[in-house]
Structure 1
Amino acid sequence: MRKPEQRERIPSRPPLIAPLHDETDQPIWSVMIAVDNTFTYLNTTLLSILELDQGIGIMQMLVVDDASTDGDVEQLVKDTGKGRIGYFRQPSKVGRLRNLETCIKLSRGKYVHLLYGDNYVMPGFYDEILSLFNEFPRVGAAFTEFQYINERGTPIWKHQPLAKERGLLKNWVKAVALRQNTEPSAMVIKRTTYEKLGSYFGAEHGEFWEMTVRIAAHAELAYVPKVLANFRIHGKALYSEALKSGKNIEDVTKVIGIIRAYLPLDVRDEVNAMSKKYFSQHFAQLSHKIYHELNDTEAALKQAWGALVLDINWISFKYSMLLFIKYLIAYKVIRKWVEKLS
C-alpha cells in the first residue's frame, strides 16, 4: 500500500473521500479498527468482530495502526485473526484524525464501522444496523444505544436512550449539537456519506461529535434503543496529556464553534450558549475527579480555569472556586494529617 504523504496532523477542512473506482463485489460492511496504543484491549475487540463475522465477501475487517509502541499489534492480529483480519500500519504516527481518514479511504464496504481499538460491539449489532438501513434507505448513518464499561469490561453506566422506539431521529441536529450523546462504537456510517461530507477535521477531541452533527445537518439518522455497543473508559483514554495542557477544552471550544455553522440561524445563539454552559460544568466537575483520583493538581487547575473561560455559570463557578480553595489551603495535606490523628 502507498505510504501516506506528509500532511498537517489536524486538517483545517474535511479531507475528501473519493468514491470507489470499482464497486464490483463490494462487501456490505467495512469494520475498520483504529488503533493507537490500545494493545491491552485490542484482543477483546478482535474477538468480538470475529464472533460476528459474516464472511469474506460480506464483511471487510482491517486494523489500521497509528504506529503503536505498546505491543506487537501486527503479531496479535495474525495470532487472533488467523488471516481473516487485515493489518495496515502507518509508517510514522499521523494522529487520530489522519488515522481515521486512512480507515475510511481503505474501506471498501457500503457501510463503514469505525471501531477504536479499546471498544467492541455485542451479538446482534450488525443485524440491527442492517435492518435500520434497509427500512430507512435514505439515512446517512444508523446507530444503536451503548453503555460505558471499565478496564475490565464491566458496565459502569448505561446511556439514557434517545427514543423509546426504533426509527428516524427527525430534527435531531439541535439536540446533538448541544452535546455528544452517542459514541463511535455504536454508529455505522454509509461510505457515500463520507464521500459527500468528507472525513474528520478540526480537533482531536470531539471529532466524532462534530461528524455526528455534520451528518445530522445534511441527512436523517436511524436509531434503535438496544444496548449493543460498548465504550470503554480507562486511564489512558480519560486522563491524557491533554488534561494537563487544557487541549481538551481548547478542542471542544473549537468544535462548538464549528458546529454553530451547521445550525439553523434561529437557534444558533441559543444552542451555542447552552453547549458552552454544559461543557463548562463538565470540565469544572472533572477537575475534582482529577484532583482526588489522579493527584494531579496541575491538570485539575487547568480544567477548573478552562471551565470558567468557556462559560461562567453558578455550577461551574462553585466547583472551580472550591477546587481553588482546596489547592490554596493544601486540602489533601490537611486531610491526611487529620486522618493520622483520628
Structure 2
Amino acid sequence: MNENHSYRINILPLPKDVQRPLWSVIIPTYNCANYLRETLASVLAQDPGPEVMQIEVIDDCSTADDPAAVVAELGKGRVSFYQQPENIGYIRNFETCLQRSRGKWVHILHGDDCVREGFYHQMQQAFEKKPDIGAAFCRYIYMDERSHWKSFSPLEQPESGVLSHWLERIAVKQRIATPSIVVAREVYEKLGGFDRRISCWGEDWEMWVRIAANYPVWYEVEPLAFYRQHATSLTGDSRRAGRNIQDMRQAIQIAKHHFRDRDADRLSNRALEHYALYALRHARKYLAIGDLSAAFNQIREAFRCSTSPKVLFCLLKLSPRLLSAVIKLGGKETKLRDLQVERSVKAIESQLNETVTH
C-alpha cells in the first residue's frame, strides 16, 4: 500500500458495490476553454458509452472563460462537470481528478491536448494483453496553438510491447507527455497521488519514474496523442525565474529514492546533467531575445544541477559577449551559493576572455 506521506495524497480504493466502467477520462482545465472543444471532440469521437467510459471535466475555478458552457454544448449531458469552489493549483486539481475517477484505467487528458482515433482501443488492448502492467503510453505528436503538427516524440522501441530497462531510461529525463499515458487506478491506489513538494514542473515525470520502479510499462509505437506547445511558454514567470529547473532538481532528489542503492547516484547524476544542458538551451533562447536576467537564472540553475565537462563545454558555446554580460549581471543580482559553482564561473570567465575576439 501507499506510504503515508503528507505531501502525497492517498487514493482510496472504491467500494466493492460501486459500478465501475473500464475507463475514466478525466480532463483538468484552467482558463483553456478555447481548446476544450477540440479536446472533448477527440474523446467523444471514440466514446463507447457511459457504461464503459466515464468522461468528466474538473475545472480549477477558471476566471477567464466558461468551461461549463463548453461541456454543456459539446457533452450534451454525456460529459460530467465539476468545478473547484476556489483555485487550488493544478497539482491538487490532479488529485481531485484521481479521487473522482471510477474506471479501471485512468486517463488524465489536459484540457488543451487531444487524442487520435484508436487511442482508447489500443491502450485497452495493451492492458488486456499484459494485465500486470501498471501503465501504457503511446508515441505522441507535438502541435502548436493552432493545432498544426510540429514534430513527433522519439521512438522508444521499434515495436509495441513492454519496455525493457525502462526505469533507467525514464529516470534520466522526461520521456512521456501526460495525454499519451494511461495508468491503472490500482497503481495510484498503491503509490499515491502526485508529489506536492514539486510546485510547477516535473510532478508528472516523478510519477512516471515511481510507476516504472514498481510496474512494467507498455509502449505503443503508433502516435495516438497530441501534446500542445504554447508560443508563450518561454515568457512564463516560473521559467524566467529558473523555477522550472529548481523543480526538476527537486523531482530528481525525490526520484532517487525509487532506485536501487547502487544505481541511485549514477542515475541521479545523469538526470542532473541532462537538466543542466536543458537549462543552457533555454539560456541561449533568452540571450537571443535579449532577456539577460532570465538567461542568467537558467545558467545559475544549470550550475546548481551539474558542472560536468559536457555542461561547461556547452556553456562555452554560448555567445561570449552576451554570456559575459549575463555573468556580470549575475554578480550584481545574486551570490552563488556553492564554492564549486563560483570556481566554475571564474574558470569560464577566464576562457571567455581568451575567446571574446573570435
Q: Distance in 1 between matches of 2:36 and 2:285?
A: 27
Q: Post-superposition shift, 1:75?
A: 1.0
Paired position in structure 2 for 1:207: 203
Paired position in structure 1 for 2:148: 154
For 2:72, which of 45, 56, 78 is the aligned residue?
A: 78
2:292 matched to 1:292? no
Q: Post-superposition shift, 1:199?
A: 0.4
Question: Taking structure 1 as reference, are residues 125 and 251 closer, same or farther at Cα in structure 2, changes over 3 Å only?
Answer: same
Paired position in structure 2 for 1:13: 7
The letter of the residue matching 2:291 is: D
8 Å Cα contact 1:287-1:323 kept in structure 2? no
Question: If the length of structure 2 is used for normalisation, what is the TM-score?
Answer: 0.84
Partner SS, residue 188 of structure 2: helix
Q: Post-superposition shift, 1:61?
A: 0.6
Partner SS, residue 9 of structure 2: coil
**Identity value in percent:** 33
CA RMSD of aligned residues (A): 1.9
Paired position in structure 2 for 1:65: 59
The letter of the residue matching 1:68 is: S
The letter of the residue matching 1:223 is: Y
Please give the per-residue CA displacement for 1:217-244, whole angstroms capped at 9, x wherever unaligned: 1111111111001111103555421112
Please give the per-residue CA displacement for 1:281-310, whole angstroms capped at 9, x wherever unaligned: 0111111223335x5332222112211221
Residue pairs, 1:39-54, within 5 angstroms = 39-54=33-48
Residue pairs, 1:158-177, within 5 angstroms = 158-177=152-171
Aligned residues: 319
8 Å Cα contact 2:144-2:231 kept in structure 1? no
Residue pairs, 1:188-267, within 5 angstroms = 188-201=182-195, 202-203=197-198, 204-237=200-233, 239-267=235-263
Please give the per-residue CA displacement for 1:38-88, whole angstroms capped at 9, x wherever unaligned: 223221111111111111111111111111122111111111211111111
8 Å Cα contact 2:292-2:325 kept in structure 1? no
- Which shows bigger deviation, 181-190 or 76-85? 76-85
Q: Distance in 1 between matches of 2:300 and 2:11?
A: 39
The letter of the residue matching 2:299 is: A
Q: Post-superposition shift, 1:130?
A: 0.3
Please give the per-residue CA displacement for 1:184-236, whole angstroms capped at 9, x wherever unaligned: 11100011110010000121310111000101111111111110011111035
The letter of the residue matching 2:126 is: L
8 Å Cα contact 2:107-2:183 kept in structure 1? yes
For 1:136, which of 130, 146, 159 is the aligned residue?
A: 130
Partner SS, residue 261 of structure 1: helix
Question: Taking structure 1 as reference, are residues 214 and 173 closer, same or farther at Cα in structure 2, changes over 3 Å only?
Answer: same
- Unaligned runs of 5+ residues in structure 1 are 1-10, 331-342
The letter of the residue matching 1:129 is: M
Question: Taking structure 1 as reference, are residues 57 and 239 closer, same or farther at Cα in structure 2, changes over 3 Å only?
Answer: farther
Question: Taking structure 1 as reference, are residues 237 and 185 closer, same or farther at Cα in structure 2, changes over 3 Å only?
Answer: farther
Partner SS, residue 226 of structure 1: strand
Paired position in structure 2 for 1:309: 304
